[in-house]
Structure 1
């Protein structure tokens, strides 16, 4: 049934072809295990940013590999942020920040759709959350170097990544794992433009378009 739904979706929306090709390759390569969750090189005290923390599963994986990592979890959804604070209350090396990071100060209106809660619409009603400028957040937290940054923010990457590039902060990030989301055809070109800018300082270690990709500082 799932494959039929994908086939019908692709027939109706041929611009999603790159996403479905990426998904097929991701599954064939078992990339979640063979590429994504490969954090053995993190040293004690490594600075890790989990942007889009949701329930903390990704941060858990990092801490299992490197228990002494310094982890900052950003989660604007108030219910998820409260749960994350409780979850990591016993870990002094984990900080939970209940706001989004982006290009400018503002307010984010989120759908309330679990792990798909997004400012790009949804089915679950509306919540509001603050957005803080990424440059100010890096300065306040003293983030002179980030060893690993994961970004999964349901469309917010199209605001955050240009802000990181425009502010000159990208060279501080040694390893970036990002999930670009494909909500409309125009985002294909938007992603390509962002990737072209990332390539000025980082190499693409691997890529499954609109699934996950990783960039490493040269």
Structure 2
């Protein structure tokens, strides 16, 4: 993340607020988020604190995507799931179809990876859809906030996003690649698409699209 610090964080007119738990939280220009916003939260695991806090504070709609069975059980067992939170039992990637999701080394952990970040041999088959396909299925004409915690697939998803006309106003992502130059290149592509880096809490970044 050191190279990302070469980008000056752009001041925002909206106060930055960290919402969610220490493990699953992100920094968001919270007053920018309106009740009619649609947020896509990709990768839930067993921590929906960001999603629940976002809904509690703004009353916006949050669509949660995670194909892992443990995530499905966790969300089903939430004692008071607000009506603004909808769960979709597939993942988001750069193509539609079934893929192998590789398990973490520690069986007590929940986060699986398309790119097998932990080099394990255990995997499950899970359904994936592009953001465009997910939007069509949900009947959404736009995404206002996109949150990605997807164990390395964030690069694929954001490259696919930039190839479309969909431009969320806020992008929050956890960047899993240890090579700083890949992260720098990603932020440069997002900047070229009209985004500015407003928060950097390694390994998470928050970008806001200007003029939208």
TM-score norm. by structure 1 comes to 0.73
Q: Deviations over 1:77-105 (max 9, x none)?
A: 12212321342774322110111112111
- Residue of structure 2 equivalent to 1:10: none
Q: Is the 8 A contact 2:195 2:209 kept in 1?
A: yes
- Quick one: distance in 1 between partners of 2:81 and 2:174? 29
**1:105 equivalent among 84, 93, 96:** 96
In structure 2, relative to structure 1, the CA distance for the partners of 1:37 and 1:174 (3 Å cut) is closer
1:118 to 113, 134, 144: 113
Larger gyration radius, structure 1 or structure 2? 1
CA distance, structure 2, for counterparts of residue 198 and residue 206 of structure 1: 14
Aligned length: 185
| Equivalent-residue separation in structure 1 for 2:177 and 2:81 (angstroms) | 37
> Structure 2: which 5+ runs fail to align?
6-16, 20-25
| Displacement of 1:179 | 1.0
Please state if 1:18 is matched with 2:2: yes
Give the secondary structure class of the aligned counterpart of 2:183: helix
Structure 2 equivalent of residue 145 of structure 1: 142
- Which residue number corresponds to residue 204 of structure 2? 212
> In the aligned structure 2, how far is the partner of 1:62 from the partner of 1:46?
11
Distance 1:133 1:49 in 2: 12
Q: What is the CA–CA distance in structure 2 between the aligned matches of 1:124 and 1:83, rounded to whole Å?
A: 24
Question: Aligned partners of 1:39 and 1:85: how far apart in 2?
Answer: 27
In the alignment, the residues of structure 2 paired with residue 89 and residue 95 of structure 1 have an alpha-carbon distance, to the nearest angstrom, of 13
Residue pair 1:105, 1:133 contacting (<8 A) in 2 also? yes
- Corresponding residue to 2:82 among 91, 99, 106: 91
Shift of 1:38: 5.1
Q: Does 1:195 align with 2:190?
A: no
Q: Which of 50, 65, 68 is the aligned partner of 1:74? A: 65
Point out which structure has higher relative CO (alpha carbons under 8 A, 6+ apart). Answer: 2
Residue 160 in structure 1 maps to residue 157 in structure 2: yes
Residue in structure 1 matched with residue 176 of structure 2 by the alignment = 181
- C-alpha distance in structure 2 between counterparts of 1:59 and 1:145, whole Å: 18
CA, structure 1 residues 125+57, in 2 after alignment: closer, same or farther (shift >3 Å)? farther
Q: Indicate conservation of the 8 Å contact 2:45/2:70, yes or no.
A: no
CA distance in 2 between counterparts of 1:47 and 1:140 reads 14
Map of 1:39 onto structure 2: 30
